[in-house]
A and B are shown apart, each in its own frame.
Chain A
Amino acid sequence: MGVISALGMWGVVVFPIDHFLKEAAQPAGDIDWLFRFMSFFSVPILVYVNGFLIYFAIRYRKRPADSMEAVGSPIHDHHALEAWWTAIPAVLMLALGLLSYRVLPEYYGAQASTVTMEAIGHKWDFEFRYPGLKQSVYNDLYLPVNVPVTMDITSSEVKEEDAVIHSFWVPEFRVKQDMVPGMVVPIHFTPDVVGTYRIICTEFCGLGHSDMWGKVHVVSQSDFDAWFSKQQHQAASAGPSVQLNHGDAAAGQALFQQKCSTCHNAAPFDQKKVGPGLADLFDDPKHPMLVDGKKADPADAAAILEKGYSGVMGTMPNMQANGLSPADIANLIAYLQTLRK
């Protein structure tokens, strides 16, 4: 058992965690180290417990030759042994506690020398607000490498219906924080490996929870600056208009699958998911009006996709929330015009 333990413990030390899940930000290395520390000591515990179980069950089994009355040793306890197996785990736990405590202060709380931004959870998108950027960025978070970031994490409270708990998790950063409406929690980390990683929502937030994910792009400072100024220009220019007669139905169909199918079926009106089925949207006597009460025609549908709507009949996210460009909206409308039952 000693050999197996030793092998296991050595395996823990050399196991390339990074190969399976990158350590792409500052706390990741410390957290992985803690994980290794725990695995290191868990191995011998598991090996010995299971090992002794199997060994004793075999070695001390009743042999056929033994009488029915045969009993085992009457020893009730052994104080020294019990003292050791109380003390050693206690010491290990103490060590683990102290080592864990060391990692914490580096994770929570705003830091003066960092860039502060906000992450806001919605159903079912991540909204990010940068200092110096008027409009928000949805689902695609860009961060410059090696720059410490403080993220103020919360959940949208604009509409009561939207205000639920989400969670912001980047596995490669080992960073997770619940997005609680009514609370703002600052966490801080420093991405240190260039790459694209996943942002995953880990707190159930409704129908779209499984599809609530985004991407964080850690890029070089110059790439980040380029992206940032592009965002600033987009904000500055006037909201471009949707050009309906340039829509491409095939592209629209792909977009529908990707963005709309969580809540809408490409099927008759009564096949509801969260919202009604959208086939024959503009021709269906059963579907005479859109969510805003206006008649179902392409221009009004485009307006809803652009600006969003919230009212008694339902809520439609706006183009920013859905990550749609004006061209996307045109394509979607073109697709909906061709979508038959």
Chain B
Amino acid sequence: MAVADVAHAPIGHIHPPPETFVQKYVFSFDHKVIAVQYFITTGLFFVLAGLLAELMRAQLAGPNNHVLSVTTYNEAYTVHGSAMVWLVIIPVLTGAFGNLVMPLQIGARDVAFPWLNMFSFWLLPPAGIFLFGSFLLGAPEAGWTEYPPISLQEPAGTSMWCVAIFLIGVSSTITGINFLVTIIKMRAPGMTWTRMPLFVWATAVTAFLSFIATANLSAALAALFIERVFNVPFYDPSRGGSPVVWQHVFWFYSHPAVYIMILPAFGIVSEIIPTFARRPIFGYKAIAYSSTAIGLMSFMVWAHHMFTSGLAQWVQLPFMALTMLIAVPTGIKVFSWVATLWAGKIRLASPLLFVLGFLSTFTFGGITGIFLASVPVDIHEHATYFVVAHLHYVLFGGSIFGIFAGLYFWWPKMTGRMLDERLAKLHFWLMFVSFNATFLPMHWIGLFGMPRRVATYDPIYGETNLFISISAFVLGASFIVFAYNALKSAMNGEASGPNPWGARTLEWMIPSPPPYYNFDRIPIVLAGPYDYGQPLPYRDVPPEYLTARPLH
């Protein structure tokens, strides 16, 4: 089929325009509406899980507090972790950002399977109900990792937890398949793999991880559920089962899962830096290929979560080696991003500020990860607050900062309005400072002897924990600034126009917010999107979009 025919594909090659309220906003096939649904739902779960964290910090503000009973404290950190991983970070980065941005960036009218896309989203609210509802029947207490045998002994809420996470697993798998087919098959004519925006690369690798890794989690959860409910022995050592089997299968999923939680954030960073530095991303191919390498290697390092579990030495060593190696492609990306700032014409707008915060905190978290990669050092640090610090530096400092960077960046595209820059900067500084104040001290209390998952602790850590708790409350408050900003923008924010940042990827070549069919005509792509200073590499884009000129 000639290129010209596809470029002028009639608008009819997409689901018909939605008419009723339900078609438009509830059971919509439109990836952009589904993205907003994901944003709202994950936002709600973020608030709930965050409140749990604040409750935890209230309990931990003193060494022997009675703010929460021990049981409630245990339930709190378990549901906090589970919700943040499965109801917030994974769905927002894949379901929300992936849906909002990726089809637009590849010049498609929607994803490959819009009905499945809608179905994937609608698995999320029931999953949330099951997870938070587990409090009614005795929520799980053994942490988001729920190791047996203890997880076999817990009350019924743990079975609800199994169901909740299983539903998310199904959602994640379907989304992964959907996105991968979309990216492989539905790119605009002329958009070769090496002309794709880096966020699409990131989404592709993430999609691959999603549908391969999640199946393992489903199996592990199913086995846990049937052991709890039907007494079928997999993990119970007294009947020949093995608790270590759970750890292997669980972590074989959960390690790729952490890359699912960071790769899209890497993609967001790769979009924002060139836009605000007004120059090409440094090392495009290096970033694209290192993302792929990270994705593949993520399947080979899972047992570094199990160094103290009694693995044989010959098993530990390759995992140690591979874990250390995976730092190399990650480092390549960080250095490339920093190099992109060199010789730029940098506009310090809020998306870039959050990216700078990301670079600072994520790099720190990545380095503490290397500390944990060494088996002897991990033996001391495993299951202490050092790990809690590390994981929050990469998941909060990395993913959440990345998420906010993306939110500030694509908010105009999604809503047609601008967010207030001053409030945004206040949000950033409050969040950045209180984040570091909260999680930095955790490194040393962990090293000096404070274990994880304890409701009370040795008084020698009392002052530090009090400081951490206070910082955590400030951190929680910083989100109120964002919420207020969002509300203000939604009600009477300044109109953004199609391309307030002067970016060059395809989503900025259409109105804000985009019409349901995205593009009048599918553009033809002539080059990669990051060559600032060159004319825009698209044919069939209306001339008013071709200036790519930022607001300030």
| Residues of A near any B CB (own CB < 8 A) | 20-21, 27, 30-31, 34-35, 38, 42, 45-46, 49-50, 52-53, 56-57, 60-62, 66, 68-78, 81-82, 85-86, 89-90, 93-94, 96-97, 100-101, 103-105, 107-109, 157, 160-161, 163-165, 167, 169, 171, 174-178, 180-183, 185, 198, 200-207, 209-211
What distance in Å separates the Cβ of B367 from its nearest Cβ neighbour in chain A? 5
With A61-B347, A171-B448, A175-B379 given, name 13 new contacts (CB 8 A). A60-B342, A72-B277, A72-B343, A82-B336, A90-B328, A104-B375, A165-B149, A177-B310, A198-B449, A204-B150, A206-B150, A207-B71, A210-B457
B360-393: CB near A (< 8 Å → 1, else 0) gives 1001100100110111110110111000000000
Q: Does B380 lie within 8 Å of A62, measured CB to CB?
A: no
Chain A residues in 8 Å Cβ range of B328: 86, 89-90, 93
Check B425 for interface membership: any CB of A closer than 8 A: no
Distance between Cα atoms of A196 and B155 in the complex (Å):
38
Q: Does A93 lie within 8 Å of B324, measured CB to CB?
A: yes
Give chain B's interface residue range (CB within 8 Å of chain A).
35 or more
What distance in Å separates the Cβ of A188 from its nearest Cβ neighbour in chain B? 13
Check B415 for interface membership: any CB of A closer than 8 A: no
User: Which of A57, A72, A178, A181 is the one whose CB lies under 8 Å from B237?
Assistant: A181
Q: Does B380 lie within 8 Å of A73, measured CB to CB?
A: no
Q: Does B278 lie within 8 Å of A205, measured CB to CB?
A: no
User: Which of B317, B324, B531 is the one whose CB lies under 8 Å from A96?
Assistant: B324
User: Which of B244, B344, B383 is the one whose CB lies under 8 Å from A73?
Assistant: B344
Task: Check A46/B364 contact, CB under 8 A, given A100-B377, A160-B238, A210-B70.
Answer: yes
User: Which of B149, B238, B341, B452 is the one whose CB lies under 8 Å from A53?
Assistant: B341
Distance between Cα atoms of A174 and B377 in the complex (Å):
8
Q: Does B321 lie within 8 Å of A21, measured CB to CB?
A: no
Identify which of A30, A108, A157 gathers the most chain B CB atoms within 10 Å of its CB: A108
Closest A-chain residue to B310, C-beta based? A185
Q: Does A203 lie within 8 Å of B147, measured CB to CB?
A: yes
Q: Does A61 lie within 8 Å of B346, measured CB to CB?
A: yes
Identify which of A72, A82, A105 gathers the most chain B CB atoms within 10 Å of its CB: A72
Closest B-chain residue to A49, C-beta based? B363
Q: Does B449 lie within 8 Å of A200, measured CB to CB?
A: yes
Chain A residues in 8 Å Cβ range of B363: 45-46, 49-50
Q: What are the 4 tightest A-B residue pairs by CB atom distance, in nearest-first order?
A: A182-B237, A72-B279, A72-B344, A73-B343
Check B10 for interface membership: any CB of A closer than 8 A: no
What distance in Å separates the Cβ of B519 from its nearest Cβ neighbour in chain A? 25
Q: Does A30 lie within 8 Å of B376, measured CB to CB?
A: yes
Distance between Cα atoms of A53 and B325 in the complex (Å):
24
User: Which of B149, B320, B346, B380 is the one whose CB lies under 8 Å from A31?
Assistant: B380
Check B532 for interface membership: any CB of A closer than 8 A: yes
Distance between Cα atoms of A289 and B305 in the complex (Å):
46
Q: Does B448 lie within 8 Å of A21, measured CB to CB?
A: yes
Distance between Cα atoms of A163 and B149 in the complex (Å):
7
B306-322: CB near A (< 8 Å → 1, else 0) gives 00111001001100110
Chain B residues in 8 Å Cβ range of A61: 345-348
Q: Does B374 lie within 8 Å of A34, measured CB to CB?
A: yes
Q: Does B453 lie within 8 Å of A163, measured CB to CB?
A: no
The stretch among B40-48, B196-204, B280-288 that forms the contact with chain A is B280-288
Chain B residues in 8 Å Cβ range of A171: 380, 448-449
Q: Does A200 lie within 8 Å of B320, measured CB to CB?
A: no
Q: Does B348 lie within 8 Å of A167, measured CB to CB?
A: no
Chain B residues in 8 Å Cβ range of A31: 376-377, 379-380
What distance in Å separates the Cβ of A189 from its nearest Cβ neighbour in chain B? 11
What distance in Å separates the Cβ of B268 from its nearest Cβ neighbour in chain A? 17
Chain A residues in 8 Å Cβ range of B153: 161, 164, 206
Distance between Cα atoms of A280 and B340 in the complex (Å):
73
Distance between Cα atoms of A157 and B238 in the complex (Å):
7
Task: Check A209/B327 contact, CB under 8 A, given A42-B367, A60-B345, A163-B237.
Answer: no
Distance between Cα atoms of A201 and B457 in the complex (Å):
12
Q: Does B374 lie within 8 Å of A96, measured CB to CB?
A: yes
Distance between Cα atoms of A205 and B243 in the complex (Å):
13
B333-361: CB near A (< 8 Å → 1, else 0) gives 01110110111111110000000100110
Closest A-chain residue to B280, C-beta based? A76
Chain A residues in 8 Å Cβ range of B374: 34, 38, 96-97, 100
Distance between Cα atoms of A157 and B243 in the complex (Å):
13
User: Which of B141, B282, B321, B549 is the one whose CB lies under 8 Å from A97?
Assistant: B321
User: Which of A74, A176, A183, A201 is the one whose CB lies under 8 Å from B382?
Assistant: A176
Chain B residues in 8 Å Cβ range of A210: 70, 454-457
Check B158 for interface membership: any CB of A closer than 8 A: no
Chain B residues in 8 Å Cβ range of A50: 360, 363
Task: Check A107/B379 contact, CB under 8 A, given A72-B532, A181-B149, A182-B242.
Answer: yes
What distance in Å separates the Cβ of A63 from its nearest Cβ neighbour in chain B? 9
Distance between Cα atoms of A198 and B451 in the complex (Å):
12
Distance between Cα atoms of A72 and B447 in the complex (Å):
44
Distance between Cα atoms of A181 and B152 in the complex (Å):
14
Chain A residues in 8 Å Cβ range of B280: 74-76
Check B18 for interface membership: any CB of A closer than 8 A: no
Distance between Cα atoms of A73 and B448 in the complex (Å):
47
Distance between Cα atoms of A292 and B259 in the complex (Å):
52
Check B533 for interface membership: any CB of A closer than 8 A: yes
What distance in Å separates the Cβ of B363 from its nearest Cβ neighbour in chain A? 5
Distance between Cα atoms of A177 and B316 in the complex (Å):
14
Chain B residues in 8 Å Cβ range of A42: 367, 370-371
Check B331 for interface membership: any CB of A closer than 8 A: yes
Selected A-B contacts with CB under 8 Å, 10 pairs: A46-B364, A56-B338, A71-B345, A72-B343, A96-B374, A97-B374, A100-B374, A103-B376, A160-B238, A175-B379
What distance in Å separates the Cβ of B68 from its nearest Cβ neighbour in chain A? 12
Chain A residues in 8 Å Cβ range of B126: none
Distance between Cα atoms of A62 and B345 in the complex (Å):
5
Distance between Cα atoms of A34 and B38 in the complex (Å):
44
Distance between Cα atoms of A96 and B367 in the complex (Å):
13
Q: Does A53 lie within 8 Å of B532, measured CB to CB?
A: no
Chain B residues in 8 Å Cβ range of A109: 313
Chain A residues in 8 Å Cβ range of B150: 164-165, 204-206
Q: Does A86 lie within 8 Å of B308, measured CB to CB?
A: no
What distance in Å separates the Cβ of B546 from its nearest Cβ neighbour in chain A? 12
Q: Does A180 lie within 8 Å of B309, measured CB to CB?
A: yes
Distance between Cα atoms of A290 and B249 in the complex (Å):
43
Distance between Cα atoms of A82 and B336 in the complex (Å):
8
What distance in Å separates the Cβ of B271 from its nearest Cβ neighbour in chain A? 16
What distance in Å separates the Cβ of B503 from its nearest Cβ neighbour in chain A? 12
Check B497 for interface membership: any CB of A closer than 8 A: no
Q: Does B324 lie within 8 Å of A180, measured CB to CB?
A: no
Check B430 for interface membership: any CB of A closer than 8 A: no
Closest B-chain residue to A99, C-beta based? B374
Check B142 for interface membership: any CB of A closer than 8 A: yes
Chain B residues in 8 Å Cβ range of A86: 328, 331-332
Closest A-chain residue to B453, C-beta based? A204
User: Which of B321, B338, B344 is the one whose CB lies under 8 Å from A49?
Assistant: B338
